[in-house]
Every structure is written in C-alpha cells, then in structure tokens.
C-alpha cells in the first residue's frame, strides 16, 4: 500500500517540466537579450520572434502567466512549426486559466504525443464541460498512472462513468483508489456524492459513513455539508444535528459551517455540495489541487485549480485556494483579484477579506488595509481573528501603542481561550512600545501555554540579555530555540548577539557567521557580525561586513551608525573584563 505523500511526490505530476510557479529563463534563453535576431536586427522584446519568446519567458518568470501565454500564442500564430512552443503555450494558457484556448493547443500536443498527461487532462476538462463523457473516458485511458495521475485520473474517471449512467462502475473505480493510504476520506466523499446525485440514498449514506470513519471521525467540511444534506432530506434530523455538533466542537471558530447550521436551524437541507457531474469533476480537481498545495507543488496545484474553476467558476472554496496559492508565490495582484471574486458576505468571503487586508499591506496600501480590518472588527464583535489581524497590521507598521490596543481588544474577546500567539504578539508590541513589565508578563504567559515555543524563547531570552537580566536562563532559552529551529538565521543571530553582549567575542563570531550564512541578505545580522569581528580583532573583515550591511538598505538610524563606524566613529567597545560573563 502506497502512502498519499509518496504518490504525490514520487513523480512530478501532469508532465509539467517546471519546479516552481515562476521559473527563471535558462542561460541560453537569457543570451538572446544581447544578440541580434536571425535577420541581424537587435532583438526588440515583443516584436521579433525571439523578442516574443523572451517576453514570454520573462512574463513567466515573474508569474504573469496571462502575458506569457499571450506572447506564446503570438509566436504560434507567426510560426506554427516552432518546436515545443505548442506544448509550452498550452502549459501557460492552462496556468493562466484560459482553458478553451489551452484545449486547442492540447489537440496539437496529443497529435505529437497522445499520452501527454497535462494535454489530455485539459481535454478531459473540456469534455466534462460539453458532457461528452465518452471523450473524457477515452482521454483518461491515455494517461499513464504515475505520480499525481494515480489520484486525479481515477477520481475523474469515476465522475465520467457517473455522467454516463454507470454508477456501479464508478464505485468500483473509487473502491480501488481507496487502497491508496490516506484516500479513504476523499473516495468516501465522492462515492457519496455520486450516489446522492443518482438518487441512491442508501449507497450515499453508506459511502459518507465510510469516509467519516476513514477520516478518524474528524471529517472535512464538504463531507459534513454533503452528509448533513442527505440526512435532512431523508428525515434524519437528529443525526444531522449530532454530526454538525461534533464538527463544530472540533472547529469552534470556523464560519464555513454557518450556511449548513443555519439551514438545519430552519429545518431545511443545506445547499448541495454538487449540483451536477461537472461540479463533481471540479470537486475532484479541487481536492487534488489542495493535496498538491499542501506538498508545496504549487505549479501543479495552480493548473488543477484553473481547471476546476473552468468547470465551476463561482466556487468560493476554489477561488480562495487560488488566492492562497498565488499569494504564496508573491503574485499579490492576482491573489487580490481571486479574493475579490468571492462574495464578501459568504463565510469564505470573511476569510478572503482577511487575506485582502494582508495583500493591501504587501502593496503598502496601509490605509485601505486598516479601513477593511476596522470595518470587520465592528462587523463581528464576537470574533478575535479580525482584531488580531488589525494588531498584527499595526505592529508591522510600527504603530506599537495602537497595536497594543487592538491586541487588548482581542484578549477581551478571547477570554480564557487566548492562546500563546496572542500573548507573544502583544508582548512584542508592548516591548517595542517600551512597556516592558507588561511585555515580560505576556512572554512568560505565552511560555506557560507553550513551554518550548522557539519564537517566544528567542524573543524573551534576547530581551533579558539586552537588559542584563536572568542571563543564565536567557542563554539556555536561546540555545533551546536554536536546537528547535537550527535553520533559522534570526534565532542564530540572537544567540551570537547574546554571546557578544556577554563579552564572548570568539563564540559570538561563530554563531553570527552561521546566521549570515542562513540569512545573507539581512543588514542587521551583517552589522552584528561586523561588530563581533571588530572586537575579535578581525578589523578588515569587520569593515567588509559593515559595507555589506550598508548595501542591504538598513533603516536610517542604523545606516548612520554604520557609516560612522566605517569612518572610525562610534566603534564597538569591548565589555569591561569585570562585566564579562562565561555562562
């Protein structure tokens, strides 16, 4: 029995030769920039054949797949025989969500390679849209079952069989897929949806219950929505209420269950999870996209999302997943567009607006982000997520006292449910606002709730050393944080700087060199290493690190200090021997 992770990661799925959503051009492609085209004329990006090629590659490298696809299609219009451009254009069009155009190129791709998995899946998507289930099955048969195809092909085949009226065959396909470890909840859900759509209520109920059991009695939202709907339609209201209560107890703060809870409160069945076969296929694509995203295979996830949205363009869950994937790939504008397409009054709309606010901050649109969050704080006075996000927003914007006020409101709303994160983030704001007694109390409370939390250990330990307090415990705390997060350059910097503040300059150099290796682009860490080099007697290396720190755009106050050090002013002074501590 193969595990789900092994299936996903064993082979890069869908035949996509790309390691990330924004792959950089190769050296050979970049070389075109400095050379004339075949006529001897300089390359003009977007005008000559090579120019369009370069423009397409550049657009892809920065994640602008719509532009990349447009340049690729222009290339094909000028020269349809260009080697591999059809396959690349198809990939870019699918990634950009232009599935109809991608399908046209997919036909060219499969003419050359009938087993191309991505091209066939594009044609499968179009076949579902056209209700041509024979075509869908024919295309699915041509895809080799390796990597992620081991999951998506059977799911899509089951729905194609369902569309063809062959529900028993669909169940057989899903039963076989259940043998892949970890797939029980997904196959149970889809078998239930297929049976439910076909009016086979007993089979649907049995499938949903198998899925819930396979999920360890912690079913996903879609399972609860689908099964509760069936129970309500078949008069099993008490069982539906119990299912909902169990889910709510396990997920007390989620808003996503609200429509189902409201429907049950009115004595009605909630809206169905799927209304037709195409919706079911879209749910399959969404499920696989979610699995890929969790494994950080975002290029593949993005294509699955685009196909799902082609079949079900108004799905709030899939639009939200699209926004998340794009946001994680720093495609902020496209992510905001995805979040903005979700009905703001829906449960997903609430979470989309939280992410919109974060997107505005990333775009330096501070005022719009704050307006949105403050409106959300007023809208739901019982919730802590918006007001906590407001505190984070203000803290990152260095408005520390305002951040403290927002966190205080979050604390009042949370009561006994306040977790370590709230105490930790409020502690940071309090410390930066120079309210140390309250800050220290919050950090200690955070550690009481989460004793080995490395972020809290690091922040409190570093703060104590800066103040010359609790030095032995502080050093132990930072060392424990380093052990838990050995690849965190900022925590390594804390340990090195602690050694520096304690007068142990050789050991400080050791830790700070490692911190710079982990975070080479951080101006503060490079400055710290320069100071440690200076007091360790390595003066040339110190000047190099200070110069390097200047090149990394430190904040204005630190920039002035670094420039003074390079001019022989404000040079680091060693700790007096009687104050040095060997702990």
Tens digit of pLDDT for each residue in 338-380?
999 999 888 999 999 999 999 999 999 999 999 999 999 999 9
| Residue 86 or residue 399, greater confidence | 399
Per-residue pLDDT at 45 exceeds 60: no
Q: Residue 256 sits in which domain range?
A: 4-22+62-265
Give the closest residue to 362 by CA, choosing from 407, 329, 400: 329
Question: Is residue 417 scored above 70 in pLDDT?
Answer: yes
| Burial category of 378 from C-beta neighbours within 10 Å (exposed 0-12, middle 13-18, buried 19 and up) | exposed
Q: Is residue 17 part of a domain?
A: yes
What's the pLDDT band for 70 if we cut at 50, 70, 90?
low
* Residue whose pair of structure tokens reads 């790309």 in the numeric block: 18
> Rg of the Cα trace of the chain?
28
Per-residue pLDDT of 113-134, as tens digits, reads: 999 999 999 999 999 999 999 9
Tokens representing residue 240 in the block: 């539906």
Burial class from Cβ neighbours inside 10 Å (0-12, 13-18, 19+) for residue 582 reads exposed
The CATH number of whichever domain residue 233 belongs to comes to: 1.25.40.10
The residue behind tokens 């306040």 is 418
Give the separation between CA 300 and CA 16, rounded to whole angstroms.
7
Supply the mean pLDDT for the chain. 87
Note whether residue 88 is domain-resident. yes
In a domain, 145, yes or no: yes
Q: For 242-269, what is each residue's pLDDT tens digit? A: 999 999 999 988 999 999 999 999 998 8
Whether 371 maps to a domain, the answer reads: no
Cβ neighbours of residue 431 closer than 8 Å, sequence gap 6 or more: 439, 459, 463
Number of domains in the chain: 2
Between CA 200 and CA 207, with CA 204 as vertex, the angle to 5 degrees is 145
Query: What phi and psi values does residue 42 have, to the nearest 5 degrees?
Result: -60, 145
Return d(Cα 150, Cα 169) in angstroms, integer: 17
At 46, the pLDDT band (50, 70, 90 cuts) reads: very low
Which of these three, 265, 293, 321, is where a domain ends?
A: 265
Of the pLDDT bands very low, low, confident and very high (cuts 50, 70, 90), residue 66 is: low
Neighbours of 567 (CB within 10 A): 9
DSSP letters, 59-100, are HHHTT-HHHHHHHHHHHHHH-TT-TTHHHHHHHHHHHTT-HH
Overall pTM surpassing 0.85 (yes/no): no
Token pair of 3 as six digits: 């595990």
pLDDT > 50? residue 4: no
Any domain includes 367: no
Burial label, 506 (beta-carbon count in 10 A; 0-12, 13-18, 19+) = exposed
Query: In the listed set 265, 295, 323, which residue is the last one of a domain according to the structure?
Result: 265
pLDDT value of position 31: 32
What is the average per-residue pLDDT within 491-520?
94
Q: How many distinct helices (H) and strands (E) make up the chain?
A: 32, 0
Q: Are 221 and 257 in contact (CB under 8 A)?
A: yes
Decide if 151 is inside a domain. yes
Decide if 375 contacts 359 (C-beta within 8 A): no
pLDDT at 196 over 70: yes
Q: Does any domain span residue 580?
A: yes
* pLDDT tens-digit map of 149-170: 999 999 999 999 999 999 999 9
The larger pLDDT score, comparing residue 95 to residue 12, is at 95
Of 236, 265, 294, which residue sits at a domain end?
265
Sign of CA dihedral 429, 433, 434, 436: negative
pLDDT confidence bin for 89, thresholds 50/70/90: confident
Show the tokens assigned to 558. 């630190």
Is the pLDDT at 279 greater than 90? The verdict is: yes
Residue 101, domain member (yes or no) = yes
């Amino acid at each position: 029995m193969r595990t789900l992770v092994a299936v996903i990661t064993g082979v890069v799925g869908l035949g996509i030769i790309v390691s990330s959503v924004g792959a950089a051009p190769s050296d050979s492609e970049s070389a075109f920039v400095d050379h004339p085209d075949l006529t001897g004329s300089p390359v003009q990006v977007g005008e000559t054949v090579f120019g369009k090629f370069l423009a397409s590659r550049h657009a892809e490298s920065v994640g602008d797949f719509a532009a990349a696809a447009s340049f690729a299609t222009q290339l094909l219009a000028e020269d349809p025989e260009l080697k591999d451009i059809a396959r690349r254009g198809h990939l870019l069009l699918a990634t950009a969500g232009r599935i109809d155009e991608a399908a046209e190129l997919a036909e060219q791709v499969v003419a050359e390679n009938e087993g191309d998995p991505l091209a066939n899946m594009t044609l499968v998507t179009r076949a579902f849209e056209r209700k041509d289930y024979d075509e869908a099955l024919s295309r699915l048969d041509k895809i080799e079952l390796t990597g992620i195809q081991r999951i998506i092909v059977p799911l899509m085949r089951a729905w194609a069989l369902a569309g063809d009226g062959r529900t028993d065959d669909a169940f057989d396909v899903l039963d076989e897929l259940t043998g892949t470890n970890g797939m029980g909840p997904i196959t149970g859900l889809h078998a239930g949806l297929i049976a439910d759509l076909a009016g086979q209520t007993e089979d649907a109920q049995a499938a949903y219950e198998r899925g819930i059991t396979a999920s360890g009695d912690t079913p996903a939202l879609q399972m609860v929505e689908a099964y509760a709907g069936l129970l309500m339609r078949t008069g099993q209201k008490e069982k539906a209420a119990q299912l909902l209560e169990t889910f709510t107890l396990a997920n007390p703060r989620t808003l996503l269950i609200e429509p189902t809870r409201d429907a049950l409160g009115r004595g009605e069945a909630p809206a169905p999870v799927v209304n037709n076969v195409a919706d079911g296929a879209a749910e399959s694509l969404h499920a696989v996209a979610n699995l890929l995203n969790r494994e950080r295979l975002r290029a593949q996830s993005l294509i699955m999302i685009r196909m799902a949205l082609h079949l079900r363009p108004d799905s709030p869950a899939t639009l939200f997943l699209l926004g998340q994937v794009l946001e994680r790939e720093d495609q902020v504008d496209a992510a905001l567009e995805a979040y903005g397409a979700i009905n703001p009054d829906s449960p997903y709309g609430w979470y989309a607006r939280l992410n919109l606010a974060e997107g505005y901050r990333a775009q330096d649109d501070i005022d719009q982000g704050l307006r949105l969050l403050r409106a959300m704080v007023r809208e739901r006075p019982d919730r802590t997520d918006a007001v906590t996000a407001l505190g984070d927003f203000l803290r990152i914007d260095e408005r520390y006292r305002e951040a403290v006020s927002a966190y205080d409101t979050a604390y009042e709303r949370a009561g006994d449910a306040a977790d370590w994160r709230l105490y930790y983030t409020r502690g940071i704001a309090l410390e930066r606002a120079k309210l140390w007694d309250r800050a220290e109390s919050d950090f200690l409370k955070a550690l009481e709730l989460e004793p080995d939390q490395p972020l809290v250990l690091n922040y409190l330990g570093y703060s104590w050393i800066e103040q010359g307090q609790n030095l032995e415990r502080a050093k132990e705390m930072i060392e424990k944080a380093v052990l838990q997060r050995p690849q965190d350059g900022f925590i390594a910097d804390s340990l090195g700087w602690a050694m520096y503040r304690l007068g142990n300059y050789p050991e400080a150099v050791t830790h700070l060199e490692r911190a710079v290796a982990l975070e080479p682009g951080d101006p503060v860490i490079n400055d710290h290493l320069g100071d440690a080099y200076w007091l360790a007697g390595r003066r040339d290396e110190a000047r190099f690190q200070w110069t390097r720190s200047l090149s990394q755009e430190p904040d204005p106050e630190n920039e002035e200090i670094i420039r003074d050090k390079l001019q022989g002013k404000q040079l680091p002074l060693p700790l007096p021997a009687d104050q040095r501590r060997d702990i």
